[in-house]
Amino acid sequence: MKPTFKAQSMQVQVPATSANLGPGFDSLGLALGMHDRYIAQVLDEQVIDVDITGEGADVLARNEKNLVIKSMHKGFEFLGGKPRGIALRALNVIPHTRGLGSSASAIVGGLSLARALVLGGNERMSNDDMLNLANEMEGHPDNVAAAIYGGATIAWQEMQHGHNVALCVQLEVDPRISAVAFVPSTSVATSKARKMLPELISHADAVKNSANAALLVHALQHRPDLLHSATEDFLHQSYRAEAMPASFALLVKLRKAGVAAFISGAGPTVLVLHTGGTEEVEELTRAAGDKFTTKALGLSREGASLI
Protein backbone atom coordinates (compact mmCIF):
# COMPACT_ATOMS: atom_id res chain seq x y z
CA MET A 1 0.00 0.00 0.00
CA LYS A 2 1.53 3.29 -1.11
CA PRO A 3 1.91 5.89 1.63
CA THR A 4 0.06 9.20 1.79
CA PHE A 5 2.51 11.92 2.69
CA LYS A 6 1.67 14.83 4.97
CA ALA A 7 2.10 18.29 3.48
CA GLN A 8 3.34 20.01 6.62
CA SER A 9 6.88 19.80 8.01
CA MET A 10 7.63 17.61 11.03
CA GLN A 11 10.31 18.10 13.67
CA VAL A 12 11.96 15.52 15.91
CA GLN A 13 14.61 15.57 18.62
CA VAL A 14 16.84 12.58 19.36
CA PRO A 15 19.05 12.20 22.44
CA ALA A 16 22.76 11.52 22.50
CA THR A 17 23.52 8.04 23.77
CA SER A 18 26.31 6.19 25.50
CA ALA A 19 26.81 2.49 24.85
CA ASN A 20 28.54 -0.27 26.83
CA LEU A 21 28.60 1.71 30.13
CA GLY A 22 31.73 -0.24 30.99
CA PRO A 23 30.99 -3.99 30.99
CA GLY A 24 27.78 -4.03 28.90
CA PHE A 25 29.54 -4.35 25.55
CA ASP A 26 27.15 -4.02 22.57
CA SER A 27 24.16 -4.45 24.87
CA LEU A 28 23.71 -1.64 27.41
CA GLY A 29 22.77 1.87 26.31
CA LEU A 30 21.89 5.13 28.05
CA ALA A 31 20.10 8.20 26.66
CA LEU A 32 21.71 11.51 27.62
CA GLY A 33 20.23 14.98 27.99
CA MET A 34 21.72 16.40 24.80
CA HIS A 35 19.64 16.34 21.62
CA ASP A 36 20.07 16.75 17.89
CA ARG A 37 17.01 18.25 16.17
CA TYR A 38 15.80 17.56 12.65
CA ILE A 39 12.96 19.15 10.70
CA ALA A 40 11.83 17.76 7.34
CA GLN A 41 9.16 18.22 4.71
CA VAL A 42 8.15 16.16 1.70
CA LEU A 43 8.64 17.97 -1.65
CA ASP A 44 6.83 17.54 -4.97
CA GLU A 45 10.07 18.29 -6.84
CA GLN A 46 12.70 15.59 -7.31
CA VAL A 47 15.31 17.25 -5.10
CA ILE A 48 17.17 16.61 -1.87
CA ASP A 49 17.57 19.93 -0.02
CA VAL A 50 19.76 19.62 3.12
CA ASP A 51 20.98 22.33 5.47
CA ILE A 52 23.08 21.56 8.56
CA THR A 53 23.93 23.78 11.52
CA GLY A 54 26.29 22.90 14.36
CA GLU A 55 28.38 19.76 14.77
CA GLY A 56 29.58 18.29 11.48
CA ALA A 57 28.18 21.13 9.39
CA ASP A 58 31.44 21.46 7.47
CA VAL A 59 31.87 17.75 6.68
CA LEU A 60 28.46 16.04 6.52
CA ALA A 61 26.91 15.27 3.14
CA ARG A 62 24.11 17.55 1.96
CA ASN A 63 22.64 15.15 -0.59
CA GLU A 64 21.20 11.63 -0.71
CA LYS A 65 24.33 10.34 1.06
CA ASN A 66 23.43 12.22 4.23
CA LEU A 67 22.73 9.65 6.95
CA VAL A 68 19.44 11.25 8.01
CA ILE A 69 18.26 11.25 4.38
CA LYS A 70 19.36 7.62 3.91
CA SER A 71 17.44 6.69 7.05
CA MET A 72 14.36 8.58 5.87
CA HIS A 73 14.49 6.69 2.57
CA LYS A 74 14.76 3.38 4.43
CA GLY A 75 11.78 4.34 6.58
CA PHE A 76 9.71 5.45 3.60
CA GLU A 77 10.49 2.20 1.76
CA PHE A 78 9.31 0.23 4.81
CA LEU A 79 6.11 2.30 4.78
CA GLY A 80 5.45 1.61 1.10
CA GLY A 81 7.34 4.11 -1.04
CA LYS A 82 9.54 7.20 -1.16
CA PRO A 83 8.41 10.76 -1.96
CA ARG A 84 9.85 12.64 -4.91
CA GLY A 85 11.88 15.01 -2.77
CA ILE A 86 12.83 15.93 0.80
CA ALA A 87 13.84 19.17 2.51
CA LEU A 88 15.84 18.57 5.70
CA ARG A 89 17.20 20.97 8.30
CA ALA A 90 19.50 19.58 10.99
CA LEU A 91 20.67 21.30 14.18
CA ASN A 92 23.44 19.09 15.53
CA VAL A 93 24.88 19.42 19.03
CA ILE A 94 26.08 15.84 19.61
CA PRO A 95 29.87 15.67 18.98
CA HIS A 96 30.78 13.39 16.07
CA THR A 97 33.09 10.34 16.32
CA ARG A 98 33.38 10.80 20.08
CA GLY A 99 31.33 7.82 21.30
CA LEU A 100 28.14 9.75 22.02
CA GLY A 101 25.83 8.20 19.43
CA SER A 102 25.76 10.86 16.71
CA SER A 103 25.16 8.26 14.00
CA ALA A 104 22.42 6.59 16.07
CA SER A 105 20.75 9.99 16.43
CA ALA A 106 20.85 10.55 12.68
CA ILE A 107 19.47 7.08 11.92
CA VAL A 108 16.69 7.21 14.51
CA GLY A 109 15.95 10.83 13.56
CA GLY A 110 15.53 9.90 9.89
CA LEU A 111 13.30 6.93 10.63
CA SER A 112 11.21 9.00 13.05
CA LEU A 113 10.75 11.73 10.44
CA ALA A 114 9.69 9.20 7.80
CA ARG A 115 7.11 7.75 10.17
CA ALA A 116 5.84 11.20 11.14
CA LEU A 117 5.52 12.36 7.53
CA VAL A 118 3.31 9.42 6.49
CA LEU A 119 -0.39 9.42 7.30
CA GLY A 120 -0.92 6.60 9.80
CA GLY A 121 2.83 6.11 10.11
CA ASN A 122 2.68 5.34 13.83
CA GLU A 123 0.37 2.39 13.19
CA ARG A 124 2.46 1.09 10.30
CA MET A 125 5.90 1.40 11.93
CA SER A 126 6.15 0.45 15.60
CA ASN A 127 9.15 1.27 17.77
CA ASP A 128 10.15 -2.38 17.48
CA ASP A 129 10.07 -2.05 13.69
CA MET A 130 12.18 1.10 13.99
CA LEU A 131 14.68 -0.70 16.21
CA ASN A 132 15.20 -3.39 13.60
CA LEU A 133 15.50 -0.92 10.73
CA ALA A 134 18.00 1.12 12.75
CA ASN A 135 19.94 -1.99 13.73
CA GLU A 136 20.28 -2.95 10.06
CA MET A 137 21.89 0.42 9.38
CA GLU A 138 24.00 0.75 12.54
CA GLY A 139 25.09 -2.89 12.78
CA HIS A 140 24.44 -3.16 16.54
CA PRO A 141 21.39 -2.18 18.58
CA ASP A 142 22.80 -0.63 21.78
CA ASN A 143 22.89 3.07 20.83
CA VAL A 144 19.81 3.03 18.62
CA ALA A 145 17.73 1.29 21.29
CA ALA A 146 18.52 4.01 23.83
CA ALA A 147 17.88 6.70 21.20
CA ILE A 148 14.42 5.26 20.44
CA TYR A 149 13.21 4.35 23.93
CA GLY A 150 15.16 6.68 26.24
CA GLY A 151 16.42 5.91 29.74
CA ALA A 152 18.67 2.88 29.94
CA THR A 153 18.18 -0.08 27.62
CA ILE A 154 19.37 -3.64 27.29
CA ALA A 155 19.49 -4.62 23.61
CA TRP A 156 20.35 -7.89 21.95
CA GLN A 157 19.94 -9.83 18.73
CA GLU A 158 18.58 -13.32 18.15
CA MET A 159 17.47 -15.54 15.30
CA GLN A 160 13.72 -15.88 14.84
CA HIS A 161 12.32 -17.92 11.96
CA GLY A 162 15.62 -17.64 10.12
CA HIS A 163 15.91 -13.85 10.52
CA ASN A 164 18.16 -11.82 12.77
CA VAL A 165 15.93 -9.74 15.07
CA ALA A 166 16.95 -6.88 17.36
CA LEU A 167 15.16 -6.68 20.70
CA CYS A 168 15.42 -4.51 23.77
CA VAL A 169 13.98 -3.79 27.20
CA GLN A 170 13.91 -0.38 28.84
CA LEU A 171 15.10 0.26 32.39
CA GLU A 172 13.84 3.04 34.65
CA VAL A 173 17.00 4.79 35.84
CA ASP A 174 17.27 5.99 39.44
CA PRO A 175 16.44 9.74 39.27
CA ARG A 176 19.46 10.59 41.45
CA ILE A 177 21.87 9.61 38.67
CA SER A 178 23.35 12.22 36.33
CA ALA A 179 26.23 12.13 33.87
CA VAL A 180 29.31 14.13 33.02
CA ALA A 181 30.96 13.71 29.62
CA PHE A 182 34.62 14.59 29.12
CA VAL A 183 34.98 15.11 25.39
CA PRO A 184 38.48 15.36 23.86
CA SER A 185 39.26 17.27 20.67
CA THR A 186 40.55 14.09 19.02
CA SER A 187 38.27 11.43 17.54
CA VAL A 188 38.36 7.66 17.16
CA ALA A 189 36.49 5.80 14.43
CA THR A 190 34.31 2.98 15.74
CA SER A 191 35.64 0.67 13.02
CA LYS A 192 39.22 1.27 14.20
CA ALA A 193 38.30 0.74 17.85
CA ARG A 194 36.61 -2.57 17.05
CA LYS A 195 39.66 -3.86 15.21
CA MET A 196 41.73 -3.46 18.38
CA LEU A 197 39.71 -6.05 20.30
CA PRO A 198 41.15 -9.55 20.82
CA GLU A 199 39.44 -12.69 19.55
CA LEU A 200 39.75 -14.35 22.96
CA ILE A 201 39.74 -13.23 26.60
CA SER A 202 40.45 -15.24 29.74
CA HIS A 203 37.73 -17.14 31.54
CA ALA A 204 38.42 -15.12 34.69
CA ASP A 205 37.88 -11.83 32.85
CA ALA A 206 34.69 -13.15 31.28
CA VAL A 207 33.34 -14.10 34.71
CA LYS A 208 34.15 -10.71 36.23
CA ASN A 209 32.69 -8.87 33.26
CA SER A 210 29.42 -10.79 33.23
CA ALA A 211 29.02 -10.27 36.98
CA ASN A 212 29.56 -6.53 36.64
CA ALA A 213 27.16 -6.23 33.70
CA ALA A 214 24.46 -7.95 35.75
CA LEU A 215 25.23 -5.75 38.76
CA LEU A 216 25.09 -2.62 36.58
CA VAL A 217 21.47 -3.31 35.63
CA HIS A 218 20.57 -3.26 39.33
CA ALA A 219 22.80 -0.28 40.15
CA LEU A 220 21.23 1.87 37.44
CA GLN A 221 17.73 1.22 38.74
CA HIS A 222 18.12 1.03 42.50
CA ARG A 223 21.68 1.28 43.86
CA PRO A 224 23.77 4.18 42.54
CA ASP A 225 26.27 3.50 45.34
CA LEU A 226 27.27 0.36 43.40
CA LEU A 227 27.99 2.16 40.12
CA HIS A 228 31.75 2.34 40.64
CA SER A 229 32.08 -1.43 41.03
CA ALA A 230 29.45 -2.17 38.38
CA THR A 231 31.06 -0.04 35.64
CA GLU A 232 34.45 -1.79 35.78
CA ASP A 233 35.14 -3.45 32.44
CA PHE A 234 37.34 -6.46 31.61
CA LEU A 235 36.26 -6.97 28.01
CA HIS A 236 37.21 -4.08 25.76
CA GLN A 237 38.42 -0.79 27.26
CA SER A 238 42.03 -1.66 28.06
CA TYR A 239 42.58 -3.09 24.57
CA ARG A 240 41.66 0.29 23.06
CA ALA A 241 43.92 2.37 25.30
CA GLU A 242 46.54 2.87 22.59
CA ALA A 243 44.02 4.65 20.35
CA MET A 244 43.01 7.11 23.10
CA PRO A 245 45.89 7.50 25.61
CA ALA A 246 44.66 10.75 27.19
CA SER A 247 41.15 9.36 27.67
CA PHE A 248 42.44 6.14 29.15
CA ALA A 249 44.74 8.04 31.52
CA LEU A 250 41.76 10.09 32.72
CA LEU A 251 39.69 6.93 33.08
CA VAL A 252 42.32 5.30 35.27
CA LYS A 253 42.74 8.48 37.35
CA LEU A 254 39.02 8.84 38.00
CA ARG A 255 38.43 5.19 38.80
CA LYS A 256 41.34 5.19 41.29
CA ALA A 257 39.51 8.06 43.02
CA GLY A 258 36.35 5.95 43.29
CA VAL A 259 34.49 7.62 40.42
CA ALA A 260 32.16 5.54 38.18
CA ALA A 261 33.95 6.40 34.93
CA PHE A 262 34.10 4.48 31.65
CA ILE A 263 34.80 4.99 27.96
CA SER A 264 31.59 6.03 26.22
CA GLY A 265 30.90 3.65 23.35
CA ALA A 266 33.99 3.26 21.18
CA GLY A 267 35.43 6.44 22.69
CA PRO A 268 37.27 8.62 23.14
CA THR A 269 34.78 10.45 25.41
CA VAL A 270 34.99 9.50 29.09
CA LEU A 271 31.58 9.36 30.78
CA VAL A 272 30.98 9.55 34.51
CA LEU A 273 27.78 8.55 36.30
CA HIS A 274 27.29 10.30 39.63
CA THR A 275 24.73 11.46 42.18
CA GLY A 276 26.51 14.67 43.27
CA GLY A 277 25.78 18.31 42.59
CA THR A 278 27.59 21.26 41.07
CA GLU A 279 30.57 20.99 43.41
CA GLU A 280 31.25 17.41 42.33
CA VAL A 281 31.06 18.38 38.66
CA GLU A 282 33.53 21.22 39.27
CA GLU A 283 35.89 18.85 41.08
CA LEU A 284 35.70 16.34 38.26
CA THR A 285 36.33 19.10 35.71
CA ARG A 286 39.48 20.16 37.54
CA ALA A 287 40.65 16.54 37.59
CA ALA A 288 40.13 16.21 33.83
CA GLY A 289 42.30 19.20 32.98
CA ASP A 290 42.34 21.24 29.79
CA LYS A 291 42.49 18.34 27.31
CA PHE A 292 38.74 17.77 27.62
CA THR A 293 35.54 19.75 27.24
CA THR A 294 33.22 19.06 30.15
CA LYS A 295 29.51 18.54 29.50
CA ALA A 296 27.33 18.08 32.58
CA LEU A 297 24.28 16.17 31.41
CA GLY A 298 21.07 14.90 32.82
CA LEU A 299 19.69 11.64 31.52
CA SER A 300 16.96 11.65 28.89
CA ARG A 301 13.95 9.72 30.16
CA GLU A 302 12.45 9.92 26.67
CA GLY A 303 13.86 8.74 23.39
CA ALA A 304 13.18 10.29 19.99
CA SER A 305 10.13 12.53 20.14
CA LEU A 306 8.24 14.96 17.96
CA ILE A 307 8.48 18.62 18.95
pLDDT tens digits along 103-151 = 999 999 999 999 999 999 999 999 999 999 999 999 999 999 999 999 9
Tell me the pTM.
0.95
Element (DSSP H or E) covering residue 106: helix 102-117
- Going from the C-alpha of 211 to that of each of 30, 216, 230, 233, the distances in angstroms are 19, 9, 8, 10
Give the per-residue pLDDT at 195: 84
Q: Where are the beta strands (DSSP E) in the chain?
A: 10-20, 24-43, 48-54, 85-92, 152-160, 163-171, 178-184, 260-263, 270-274, 292-297, 305-306
Sequence letter at residue 17: T
Q: Which CATH topology does 10-171+302-306 take?
A: Ribosomal Protein S5; domain 2 (3.30.230)
- Listed residue (56, 303, 300, 34) closest to 181, CA to CA: 34
CATH assignment of 178-297? 3.30.70.890
Contacts of 281 (CB under 8 A, 6+ apart): 180, 274, 294, 296
- Listed residue (187, 183, 190) closest to 59, CA to CA: 187
HEC string for 33-64:
EEEEEEEEEEECCCCEEEEEEECCCCCCCCCC
Q: Is 125 helix (H, G, I), strand (E, B) or coil?
A: coil
Residue 86: strand pairing partners = 42, 48
Summary count for the chain: helices (H), strands (E): 10, 11
The DSSP secondary structure of 162-200, one letter per residue, reads TEEEEEEEEE---TT-EEEEEEESS---HHHHHHTS-S-
pLDDT tens digits along 156-186 = 999 999 999 999 999 999 999 999 999 998 8
DSSP 256: H
The ranges of the chain annotated as CATH 3.30.230.10 are 10-171+302-306
Residue 268, preceding peptide bond in cis (omega within 30° of 0): yes
Give the per-residue pLDDT at 179: 97
Distance separating alpha carbons of residues 223 and 196, to the nearest angstrom: 33
Sequence letter at residue 255: R
pLDDT tens digits along 79-106 = 999 999 999 999 999 999 999 999 999 9
pLDDT tens digits along 214-272 = 999 999 999 999 999 999 999 999 999 889 999 999 999 999 999 999 999 999 999 99
- Going from the C-alpha of 307 to that of each of 41, 53, 147, 268, the distances in angstroms are 14, 18, 15, 31
